[in-house]
Chains A and B, each alone.
Chain A
Amino acid sequence: MNELTIAMPKGRIFEEAYQMLIEAGFNLPEEVEMSRKLMIEIPEEKIRFILAKPMDVPVYVEHGVADIGIAGKDVLLEQQRVVHELLDLKISTCYIASAGLPNTTMNELAPRIATKYPNIAMKYYKGIGEQVEIIELNGSIELAPMIGLADRIVDIVSTGRTLKENGLVEYEYITEVSSRLIANPVSYRMKGDRIIDLVKRLKKCVD
């Protein structure tokens, strides 16, 4: 049996996905000591987890240093990497939307959009026939309309609380997001039996 390397995002998604793997019958220790470790070996199942930033999971998978990985649909849409998208795990579901100060319209000359997702935002506005200027930020996106950096933001919304607390309202729903199981195209062929078995077992836990 081949060794399988799985890239996982650190934090809550890791825990949820890990529980799913246990549910799917994988022989994993109940408790994993996370602390600062970046790699976890599970010799019983010949599985190795690597723990990465959510944005980086598709990078590891595309380059083939991880065979499969768990990545948010937002990241996949943003980066457009060449990976197989095998299964919707339906965990950490949320959506991407545009938001701004209430009762405002976008600047007609040069509407500005602040976002962590420049590609998604650009594609969306192109799709609705608006030419916009994108300002890329790395966090606290809600600040941008509040202090006049941008007319709208494009960001992830899960409960809508952060928007509300900062006095913003949602304008347009853009797309749904959840965690996906992705695979490297070469691993998918060379370790196909293991990967397809894993997909089948996980699929039962999803539905």
Chain B
Amino acid sequence: MSSIKMFEKPLGMRDKFPQIYEKVEAVRHTGRNFLRSRGYEFIKTPTVEYFDTVGKASAISDAHLFKLVDSQGNTLVLRPDMTTPIARVATSKLLKEMIPLRLAYFASVFRAQETEGGRPAEFEQMGIELIGDHSVFADAEVIVTAMELLKQFGLENFKVTIGHAGVLNCILQDYTESIEQEDVLRTLLVQRNYVGFEEAVASFDLPKTKSDALLQFIEEAMTLKEIRDIEKYVRKNDALEYMQQLAKLLEIANLAQYVAFDFTLSSHMSYYTGMLFEVFASGSGFPLGNGGRYDGLLEVFGSKVGATGFSIRVDRLLETITAQASDKEEAIVVLFEEEDFEEALEKIEALRAAGKQATLQLRSSLVDEAAFLTHFTKVVVVGQEEIRGE
């Protein structure tokens, strides 16, 4: 280990310079207005939580948690996601006041990370949770809200891929002969290892009708345009009916063009009991966000009311919307000499009252005046005519 230099930050941590800061603020502003207009109320939870509650319940694996110890010896975590703390606060308090609950957040989450670059250990997430509504309409609302939110940022080239744990389970159950085989196949799907899936199916020595069905399913399931195409693989069940209904609702909402169905979509988390989805957009190599129904997580906190939601990663959203470059804002600097202070104050107040962004600076303090002034679009010197415009 080389010693830490004075300029270094902990692994994966980033400074946010003014230009990026403003972009994030703009995203927050747009997102906040939009989500509030849809009846979602913003909430903030503590940065630090107990490992035994939020840490253990979170979908984020243990290895990615930042852990600390408090003075009583309890293990604490920096919150690794927002869904779990919100599930905690909703079940313990907010659900007693209102049900269903519509909550939104814009907050930093923390993931301890490996050594590779391009993976921040702290990043902002924006999202919603709709808690206390079991219906398919709640899931549809969440998906529609996610898509409309992306449109607020001018995104058109995006896709939402939707699957359902119940449909997948039904297929795996019907076409394999043991729970072990089911688990092997599910794990391979979580890893998106289609080659391994085919090999595993071959190695199971299943009756030909079953193995053929599985292989054909995997080939078709990734490219489904319409939910109809999956029906031949699944016997009639609630999950399938649910998805048919969801598809219909999204069609009515006129958003079917952004939707793809993928019933190989699987989560390593057992909380995702029902519908789940991922959000993709060109411009970032990683998914923009994900969501789904997580009734199971609420049960961990002792409530059976059901919940659904989504979250978007702000850093990746910024990558996809950088194309829309913003103009440099007007920035004025007022330079003054010591004896002109009063006049300088008057001048700057007039500018600020007019809504301008104006900096007041004592001229004699400047070491390199020319370099300093390059950061402004307009320079005013008290007691002189304007010396530089745009």
Residues in A lying within 8 Å of B, measured CB to CB: 62-65, 82-88, 180, 184-187, 189-190, 192, 196
Cα separation A168 to B284 with both chains bound (whole Å) = 47
Q: Flag if B287 contacts A186 (CB, 8 Å).
A: yes
Cα separation A65 to B283 with both chains bound (whole Å) = 10
Cα separation A88 to B159 with both chains bound (whole Å) = 27
Of all A-B residue pairs in the complex, the 9 with the closest CB atoms, nearest first, are: A64-B285, A189-B280, A84-B192, A85-B193, A88-B195, A190-B282, A63-B285, A85-B195, A189-B159
Interface residue from A63, A85, A186, A196 paired with B192 (Cβ < 8 Å): A85
Q: Flag if B281 contacts A190 (CB, 8 Å).
A: yes
Residues of chain B contacted by A184 (CB below 8 angstroms):
285
Distance between A62 CB and nearest chain B CB, rounded to angstroms = 7
Q: Flag if B195 contacts A185 (CB, 8 Å).
A: no
Q: Flag if B192 contacts A83 (CB, 8 Å).
A: yes
Residues of chain B contacted by A87 (CB below 8 angstroms):
194-195
Residues of chain A contacted by B161 (CB below 8 angstroms):
189
Q: Flag if B195 contacts A189 (CB, 8 Å).
A: no
Decide: A192 near B223, CB < 8 A? Known: A64-B286, A65-B285.
yes
16 pairs from A and B in contact (CB 8 Å cutoff): A63-B118, A64-B285, A83-B192, A85-B193, A85-B194, A86-B195, A185-B280, A185-B286, A185-B287, A186-B282, A186-B284, A186-B287, A189-B260, A189-B280, A190-B282, A196-B223
Cα separation A20 to B192 with both chains bound (whole Å) = 24
Distance between A84 CB and nearest chain B CB, rounded to angstroms = 4
Cα separation A84 to B280 with both chains bound (whole Å) = 15
Q: What total count of A-B pairs have CB within 8 Å? A: 51
Decide: A190 near B157, CB < 8 A? Known: A63-B118, A85-B193, A185-B192.
yes
Residue of A nearest to B288 (CB): A186
Distance between B253 CB and nearest chain A CB, rounded to angstroms = 20
Q: Flag if B194 contacts A84 (CB, 8 Å).
A: yes
Q: Flag if A64 contacts B284 (CB, 8 Å).
A: yes
Residues of chain A contacted by B282 (CB below 8 angstroms):
186, 190
Residues of chain B contacted by A180 (CB below 8 angstroms):
195
Residues in B lying within 8 Å of A, measured CB to CB: 118, 157, 159, 161, 191-196, 199, 222-223, 260, 280-282, 284-287
Cα separation A199 to B193 with both chains bound (whole Å) = 14
Cα separation A114 to B159 with both chains bound (whole Å) = 45
Decide: A62 near B285, CB < 8 A? Known: A189-B280, A192-B223, A196-B223.
yes
Distance between B380 CB and nearest chain A CB, rounded to angstroms = 46
Cα separation A33 to B223 with both chains bound (whole Å) = 36
Distance between B307 CB and nearest chain A CB, rounded to angstroms = 26
Distance between A96 CB and nearest chain B CB, rounded to angstroms = 16
Cα separation A84 to B282 with both chains bound (whole Å) = 17
Residues of chain A contacted by B199 (CB below 8 angstroms):
88
Residue of B nearest to A84 (CB): B192
Q: Flag if A190 contacts B284 (CB, 8 Å).
A: no
Distance between A118 CB and nearest chain B CB, rounded to angstroms = 14
Distance between B296 CB and nearest chain A CB, rounded to angstroms = 23
Residues of chain A contacted by B287 (CB below 8 angstroms):
185-186
Distance between B114 CB and nearest chain A CB, rounded to angstroms = 10
Distance between A71 CB and nearest chain B CB, rounded to angstroms = 11
Distance between A80 CB and nearest chain B CB, rounded to angstroms = 9
Residue of A nearest to B116 (CB): A59
Residues of chain A contacted by B284 (CB below 8 angstroms):
64, 186
Q: Flag if B280 contacts A186 (CB, 8 Å).
A: yes
Residue of B nearest to A180 (CB): B195
Residues of chain A contacted by B193 (CB below 8 angstroms):
84-85
Cα separation A63 to B319 with both chains bound (whole Å) = 13
Cα separation A185 to B159 with both chains bound (whole Å) = 12
Cα separation A194 to B231 with both chains bound (whole Å) = 26
Q: Flag if A86 contacts B194 (CB, 8 Å).
A: yes
